[in-house]
């Protein structure tokens, strides 16, 4: 290729405005990131938002898990003009407190059932949509592989994680359309690039009108995390799918701008035809996934632990084993279930799992030897299986 941009025919999705940025309808692909500071630390959070803006972020997402986080958000809004998205978790009613201060609300359909379980999810979504409409906010329906509504998962075989995600996304789109709220986009994320490709292509085939937010969740540390994300984005953006993106990397707080740089580089390379062949992630090699550092991480030692796990496990590179390292109680318990070995971090200890089975909780200075013990046992078990 000579470096000139290719004309990629993109899906003609509807327009969705997020503050001063509009996604969909052939608008440039917006690049996002997420703060990794504690939201209640206003100075640190504003500083990181400004740093991400300097790096070229179009939208910056902030996690809000409590009323204190919501109160801090009001002051954060006063100190920045960035396009802000808020990440709601179980308490959907916090939408009312945060909406006046942000440009987009992201909710996870799989988390809605945690709070006020007696209420149907439709009533909760209507509440969020009404609050968003009253405060000039867009919505992202954020479907995540590790937190799908159990009622959806029960209807499909254990090895089919994509169908429950699609069913959830489709029904939420249909409901939002039915109540007249169309200022929304959808994300369908997994830590496996091939699943990200499959689920987003299948969604776009049926709902080509809905803008898609692309991302490979828990992509891990650079350069591996960038490569995994590139694999998915090349196949999707190259086919016209995707209106906004995030590259989720496990990096220290002062390096979060690398997510923006990586995203813009991938988009530029795709547009110029500088693409790599998609590797088969079914190859018999070790796969380490780790979530992006964010404000929900309760011990910053998580980032160092993820790096140490990568170094310690190099000897097992040729074994088809997946190890997941998660930084908090929100993503950790569910999103480590599909890994052969999973770790999720609490303030003073690390939980270790083998598949969905809990092995135990260990201090940070004891977890690596115990992880190696479990890894060696897993390798030995696999060696005994008939080929």
Cα–Cα distances (Å) from 41 to 11, 44, 46, 295, 309, in that order, read 40, 6, 9, 10, 29
> Which of 239, 271, 303 is a domain's end point?
271
pLDDT of residue 354: 94
Residue 86 lies in a domain: yes
Domain of residue 55, CATH code: 3.20.20.20
What's the pLDDT tens digit per position in 225-259?
A: 998 999 899 889 988 999 999 999 999 999 999 99
pLDDT of residue 2: 34
Residue 167 CB neighbour total at 10 angstroms: 19
Q: Is pLDDT at 208 greater than 60 in this prediction?
A: yes
Q: What is the largest CA-CA distance in the chain?
A: 63
Find the mean pLDDT for residues 12-20.
98
Phi-psi region of 187 (alpha: psi -120 to 50; beta: other; left: phi over 0): beta
State both tokens at 232: 């998915």
Give the number of C-alpha atoms closer than 13 A to the C-alpha of residue 22, restricted to the C-beta side.
Answer: 8
Residue 305 lies in a domain: yes
Q: For residues 130 and 126, what is the distance between their CA atoms, to the nearest angstrom?
A: 6
- 376 near 369, Cβ under 8 Å? no
Indicate if 65 and 104 belong to the same structural domain: yes
Residue 58: in which H helix or E strand, if any? Answer: none
Indicate if 167 and 233 belong to the same structural domain: yes
pLDDT bracket for residue 308 (50, 70, 90) = very high
State both tokens at 106: 């992201």
pLDDT of residue 128: 98
Q: Quote the domain boundaries for residue 342.
A: 287-384
What's the pLDDT tens digit per position in 54-103?
A: 999 999 999 998 999 999 999 999 999 999 999 987 789 999 999 999 99
Domain of residue 327, CATH code: 3.30.413.10
The more confidently predicted of residues 271 and 290 is 271
State both tokens at 90: 């179980």
pLDDT of residue 1: 32
Find the mean pLDDT for residues 350-375.
95
Q: For residues 41 and 33, what is the distance between their CA atoms, to the nearest angstrom?
A: 18
pLDDT bracket for residue 275 (50, 70, 90) = low
Find the mean pLDDT for residues 150-158.
85
Indicate if 261 and 306 belong to the same structural domain: no
Indicate if 176 and 118 belong to the same structural domain: yes
Residue 12 CB neighbour total at 10 angstroms: 11
Q: For residues 309 and 162, what is the distance between their CA atoms, to the nearest angstrom?
A: 28
Indicate if 153 and 252 belong to the same structural domain: yes
DSSP letters, 301-350, are HHHHHHHHHHHHGGGGTTS--EEEEE-STTTHHHHTTTSSEEEEE-SS-E
Indicate if 149 and 179 belong to the same structural domain: yes
pLDDT of residue 279: 32
Q: Is pLDDT at 268 greater than 70 in this prediction?
A: yes
Find the mean pLDDT for residues 168-177.
97
Find the mean pLDDT for residues 361-367.
95
- Can you give the pTM of this predicted structure? 0.80
pLDDT of residue 194: 92
Which residue's entry shows tokens 């992630």? 281
- 76 near 46, Cβ under 8 Å? yes
Indicate if 79 and 105 belong to the same structural domain: yes
Indicate if 245 and 302 belong to the same structural domain: no
């Amino acid at each position: 290729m000579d470096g000139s941009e290719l004309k990629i025919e993109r899906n003609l999705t509807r327009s969705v405005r997020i503050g001063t940025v509009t996604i969909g309808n052939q608008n440039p692909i917006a690049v996002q990131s997420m703060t990794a500071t504690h939201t209640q630390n206003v100075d640190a959070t504003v500083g990181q938002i400004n740093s991400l803006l300097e790096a070229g972020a179009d939208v910056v997402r902030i996690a809000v898990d409590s009323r204190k986080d919501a109160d801090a958000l009001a002051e954060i809004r006063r100190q920045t003009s960035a396009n802000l998205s808020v990440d709601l978790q179980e308490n959907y009613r916090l939408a009312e407190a945060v909406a006046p201060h942000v440009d987009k609300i992201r909710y996870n359909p799989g988390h809605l059932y945690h709070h006020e379980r007696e209420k149907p999810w439709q009533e909760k979504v209507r509440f969020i949509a009404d609050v968003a409409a009253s405060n000039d906010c867009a919505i992202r329906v954020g479907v995540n592989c590790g937190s799908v509504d159990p009622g959806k998962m029960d209807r499909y075989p254990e090895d089919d994680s994509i169908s429950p995600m699609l069913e959830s996304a489709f029904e939420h789109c249909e409901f939002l359309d039915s109540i007249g709220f169309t200022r929304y986009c959808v994300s369908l994320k997994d830590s496996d690039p091939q699943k990200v490709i499959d689920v987003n292509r299948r969604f776009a085939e049926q709902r080509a009108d809905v803008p898609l937010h692309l991302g490979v969740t828990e992509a891990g540390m650079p350069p591996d995390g960038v490569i995994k994300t590139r694999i998915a984005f090349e196949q999707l953006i190259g086919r016209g799918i995707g209106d906004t993106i995030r590259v989720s990397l496990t990096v220290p707080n002062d390096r979060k701008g690398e997510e923006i740089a990586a995203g813009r580089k991938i988009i530029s390379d795709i547009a110029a035809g500088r693409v790599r062949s998609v590797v088969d992630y079914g190859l018999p090699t070790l796969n380490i996934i780790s979530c992006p550092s964010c404000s929900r991480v309760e011990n910053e030692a998580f980032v160092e632990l993820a790096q140490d796990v990568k170094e310690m496990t190099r000897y097992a590179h040729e074994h088809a084993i997946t190890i997941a390292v998660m930084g908090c109680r929100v993503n950790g318990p569910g999103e480590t279930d599909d890994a052969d070995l999973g770790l999720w971090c609490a303030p003073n200890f690390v939980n270790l799992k083998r598949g969905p089975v809990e092995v135990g909780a260990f201090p940070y200075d004891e977890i690596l030897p115990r992880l190696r013990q479990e890894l060696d046992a897993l390798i030995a078990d696999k060696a005994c299986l008939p080929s």
